[in-house]
Structure 1
Amino acid sequence: MKYMLLVCGDDTADASGMAPVEPWVEELGDRGVRLHGHRLALPAEAVTVRVRGGEVLRTDGPFAETKEYVAGYDILECASLEEAVEAAAKHPVAALGAMEVRPFWPMEGEEEAEKRIRRLEAELTEAARDRDVDRALACYAPDAAIVLPDSGPEPLDTEAFRKAQQSAYADLSGPVRREVLSFRLRVDESVAFAHALVRIDADRGDGTPQARTLRVTTGYRAVGDRWLIAHEHASAPGDGLS
């Protein structure tokens, strides 16, 4: 679940001895907990806007005059409120000011979207098993851009991807075993992103086994009542497999 972390500073506190925030940002970013965040300008640079009787009223300065103010924000993705609170407590500003942790309002259909995307991944696994290129391509948007480990830096369109897959399958015998080792998914209304480790096992035509682990980043978009792959980037980490 996503949480908004409001970093509330205190203009009367002495921040000269405060620990740097960069290690906190790096640690939570590496763990996939911190999705985004930024520091905000001081309250004196704020503009407060109200509409009364159809008239726009603009006031320079913050909504409320107080010694505490929102100095920045971070968006966290945590399994529970307790995990989000634990992350907030480790923020350096927590020792001087306050951290407000607030869950995002749940989106309608987010769980259903995740189920559909996971079913799409299962369809790719079955298509690989049968070496069915057409079945796999049905999971991609017509204008999808695809980067494969051996295709160079320029993305392939779906027709070039079809030819690359057909060529790869021509050198193999029997089914292709596709196993998703890890899969992290984030869904946001009509777009979604996933990071995965995928292992591919197959036998060459001469019976020699072939194994490869790929790091795959995928962008999905909702098309009607379906989710399709709009962008995919696969690379081979240095795992000693070939």
Structure 2
Amino acid sequence: MKYMLLVCGDDTADASGMAPVEPWVEGLGDRGVRLHGHRLALPADAVTVRVRGGEVLRSDGPFAETKEYVAGFDILECESLEEAIEAAARHPVAAIGAMEVRPFWEDEDAEGQIRLLDTRLTEAARERDIERIAACYAPDAAVYADGREHVGADALRKWLDEMFSGVTGPVTREVLEFRVHVDESIAFGHALVRFRATRTDGASLNDLMRITTGYRNAGLRWVIAHQHISQERS
């Protein structure tokens, strides 16, 4: 279960005796509990935005005048709320400020969406449908294959066209292994994929490829942002 840890500072508190944060960050990071996080600028650097009657209203500073403010955040992955609370209690700022521990809203199966994306690639490859394959990639995706770099939608389509022009009939894309690790807005996949087809000269194509993929959450869907394809021994 993932938790957002909001680190709330207090501008009236004396932080001179506060312990350094680095040991807390390193300790939880080594255990895989703290996934990532960052400090935030002071409330004086904030801009509050409201829209009223179609007009954008902008005001400098935080939306509420209070001595407590969000000074940073951390993303934790814990077995339970109690474990997340224990981690928050060990944060140095807890001694002078407050730590808000809030569970993530669990209504999306990100890994399932990425696996479905991979299934779409398999189906599109069978039909040699370049547009359906390209739709699985970000417009600025970088693909490394055949010893070359293909960056952007036009380069990707050109590379796919070159590949499919060398074969006839359907292309079988058999996924032998597929591991996915999701971390909020990015994810990584490691796959072993076998491609089978008939070359234009009548010979059989039977290539085993190791594919490492970086995915990006584009809001309502996941897309491929980076991919490295290398050939394994058949």
TM-score calculated relative to the size of structure 1: 0.58
Q: Distance in 2 between matches of 1:117 and 1:44?
A: 40
Q: How many residues align?
A: 214
Q: 1:201 to 1:30 in 2, by over 3 A?
A: farther
1:6 Cα shift? 1.9
1:25 Cα shift? 6.5
Q: Confirm or deny that 1:144 pairs with 2:145.
A: no
Deviations 1:86-141 (A, max 9, x none): 5434533335543211235x48xx5377655532322324555x4x431x742543
| Structure 2 portions without partners, runs of 5+ | 50-56
> Superposed, which structure 2 residues align to 1:29-108 within 5 Å?
31=32, 33-41=34-42, 63-65=65-67, 69-70=68-69, 72-76=71-75, 78=77, 80-104=80-104, 106=105
Q: Distance in 2 between matches of 1:126 and 1:34?
A: 34
Check the 8 A contact 1:21/1:91 in 2, yes or no: no
Check the 8 A contact 1:4/1:73 in 2, yes or no: no
Check the 8 A contact 2:209/2:232 in 1, yes or no: yes
Q: 1:124 to 1:60 in 2, by over 3 A?
A: closer
1:207 Cα shift? 7.8
Question: 1:198: which partner in 2?
Answer: 191
Q: Distance in 1 between matches of 2:30 and 2:150?
A: 26
Q: Distance in 2 between matches of 1:139 and 1:29?
A: 38
Corresponding residue to 2:158 among 151, 157, 160: 160
Check the 8 A contact 2:46/2:61 in 1, yes or no: yes
| Identity among equivalent pairs (%) | 26
Give the partner amino acid of 1:63: E
TM-score calculated relative to the size of structure 2: 0.60
Deviations 1:202-241 (A, max 9, x none): 5798889754433211235478xxx473x5311269xx95
Q: 1:32 to 1:12 in 2, by over 3 A?
A: closer
1:33 Cα shift? 4.7
Say what the alpha-carbon RMSD is for the aligned residues: 5.0
| Structure 1 portions without partners, runs of 5+ | 50-55
Give the partner amino acid of 1:64: T
Check the 8 A contact 1:176/1:202 in 2, yes or no: yes
SS of match in other structure, 2:144: coil
